[in-house]
A = this chain, B = another copy of it.
Amino acid sequence: MTTLPGISDIRAAAARLSGLIVETPLIESEINNRYGGRILFKPETLQRTGSFKFRGAYNKLSSLSEEERGRGVVAFSSGNHAQGVAASAAMFGVKAVIAMPADAPAIKIANVRKMGAEVVPFDRYREDRATVVRPYVERGMVLVPPYDDPAIIAGQGTIGLELVAQASALGAKLDAVVIPCGGGGLSSGISIAVKDVLPGTSVWAAEPEHFDDTTRSLAKGERVSNEPAHVSICDALLVAEPGALTFEINRSYLAGGIAVSEDAVRQAMRDAMTHLKLVVEPGGSVGLAALSSGKIDLAGKCVAVVLSGGNVDLSVYAEIMAAG
């Protein structure tokens, strides 16, 4: 049995990451007027490597022994976790091999290579990612999982510590927090930290439609999978089902999940450009898109929204902006 991470693990992760991460600001804008509430944005788009993933990856590598790290690390990822692992490995001076879908955004593949990691492309729809990395694990390299791991969850949870402290400094009493959700590492980590201080704050997972496994799993009380054969522009959030550890945490702490359409995601990306001056990737925008769902009470409330990443190809981004 793996022990679930707790608030002390998140505090320890924050101490390890101190000075290495950007303490991303909490940003407020005139978008408040649209929702009739106070919306505070936590832009992990500005984090090292352009997404929150560096936090968990670095914390995981820190938790390995010198001997383990010396064998090198291997990961599979559509791109954000890949960049987090590659940057962390470079900082520890160890070898990294990353299996990435061949159709991952070019910017993500290029960045991973620039950081010195070896990229092994695979076919997202025909090959099993676990099979792709197996030879490297058998050779002794340490697998750094994308979400279902206590050290990864604790690293992502450091966002929750910052969020609570920053909201308090602004004199804001958080009624709700909305978090993009793929495998659930980000929402589980943040919810541990938020609930520790603010047990009455409701925490929501936001997902793309057809990839709303956590939303449906929370409603059913057990893990359910997504129907295969769907596609989405939210490349960062495309998993088959919730993680075992992450779901165990999310079922305890989350108020529920919200699924959003592709059109709502594109509109949220344009809203982030116009009102927040932030470039947010599709998967990073689902929390903002979820505000328009009507499922979260916004009038007169204070709601924090995590913008989890900004790694989107210029051509894709330009097309979405131009469609506004």
Contacts and interface: CB of A to CB of B under 8 A. Distances in A.
Interface stretch (A58-66, A274-282, A290-298): A274-282
Interface in A26-73: 27-30, 33, 43, 45-46, 48, 50
Interface stretch (A17-25, A200-208, A227-235): A17-25
Interface stretch (A124-132, A183-191, A217-225, A316-324): A316-324
Given A25-B24, A270-B314, A30 B321 contact: no
B107 A274 contact: yes
A197 interface: no
A321 B317 contact: yes
A277 B33 contact: no
A173 interface: no
Contacts of A311: 277
A134 interface: no
Contacts of A77: none
A273 interface: yes
A111 interface: yes
Contacts of A317: 273, 321
A25 B21 CA distance: 11
Contact of A324 (B50, B170, B318): B318
A36 to B, nearest CB: 14
A310 interface: yes
Contact of A322 (B169, B270, B322): B322
A255 interface: no
A167 interface: no
A80 B48 CA distance: 29
A19 B276 CA distance: 19
Of A273, A280, A311, chain B has the most CB atoms within 10 Å of the CB of A273
Contacts of A276: 46
A240 interface: no
A169 B18 CA distance: 11
B279 A314 contact: no
A270 to B, nearest CB: 6
10 smallest A-B Cβ distances: which pairs? A277-B310, A318-B321, A318-B322, A277-B279, A45-B277, A314-B324, A273-B279, A25-B25, A27-B46, A274-B314
26 contacts: A19-B169, A19-B170, A19-B171, A22-B27, A23-B25, A28-B48, A30-B111, A30-B114, A30-B115, A33-B114, A43-B46, A46-B278, A50-B277, A270-B314, A273-B314, A273-B317, A274-B314, A277-B278, A277-B310, A278-B278, A314-B321, A314-B324, A318-B318, A318-B321, A318-B322, A321-B321
Interface of A: 19, 22-25, 27-30, 33, 43, 45-46, 48, 50, 107, 111, 114-115, 169-171, 270, 273-274, 276-280, 310-311, 314-315, 317-319, 321-322, 324
Given A19-B171, A321-B321, 15 more contacts: A22-B28, A28-B48, A29-B50, A30-B114, A43-B46, A43-B277, A45-B277, A50-B277, A277-B311, A278-B278, A278-B279, A315-B324, A318-B322, A318-B324, A319-B322
